[in-house]
Amino acid sequence: MASVLVIDDGELQDIRALLQEFEAEYVHLQGRDIPEEIEDPRTLLVTTARRAVCLRYKRGALRPRPPVRIAVCTGSSKTQRSILKRAGFDYLVRRPVHPAALRLLLLRALYHGKEKRHSTRFAFGQVVTFRMGFRRRKAMLAELSAYGGRLLTRHHLTPGTQLSIQLPREVAGGRPLDLRCSVVRVEQGDREHAEE
């Protein structure tokens, strides 16, 4: 039984590349190599939404912790989301997805230690607008929790700076949402994946 299982028709190269970067051992099933029934991996299952709705699972021994299941698609409907939810998928990732958000989601899915934060952070991966004083700028909100988040930007920020982050209506329940916050920590990162 595999620890991590990736099932696709060649579309999930970026996910396989990240798993290799993390040195995570995984089994990749593609096309005709996909059996009629699969056994759940121990830790993580990543597949395309199209493949996910067709998978049949072997009845195996009950485990104390089921694997994290992620389906990846280019668009989704309510019907598809409800089918995937009933099939036990934890996350539906819609493409395009920011590489930093995908990286965080996979790291979180592979991590089995005790969570040190007071509230769980979720991979968010959406472009947002933030305001410092009167200036509006764009950034990538990579992850978000009830008490914090990670903002990727090319603009210089210093700890203590007050910000207002505007979440777009599409991800905030139909109307824009302003989050008031302050910068706690600044890390130099990969400028390639930050928004202008």
pLDDT tens profile 176-189? 888 888 898 888 76
In tens, the pLDDT along 142-189 reads 888 888 888 888 888 889 989 999 888 877 777 888 888 889 888 876
Predicted pLDDT at 6: 95
- pLDDT recorded at residue 44: 92
Q: Is the pLDDT of residue 24 over 70?
A: yes
State how far the Cα of 84 lies from the Cα of 133, in Å rounded to an integer. Answer: 43
Whole-prediction pTM: 0.63
Please give the Cα distance from 90 to 128 (Å, whole number): 24
| pLDDT band at residue 4 using 50, 70 and 90 as cut-offs | very high
pLDDT value of residue 193: 47
CA pseudo-torsion sign 165, 168, 169, 170: negative
- Specify the pLDDT at position 118: 56
Residue with tokens 């059996």: 35
Q: How far apart are CA 12 and CA 53, in angstroms?
A: 17
What pLDDT, in 10s, does the model give residues 79-117?
888 888 888 888 888 888 888 888 888 988 887 655 555
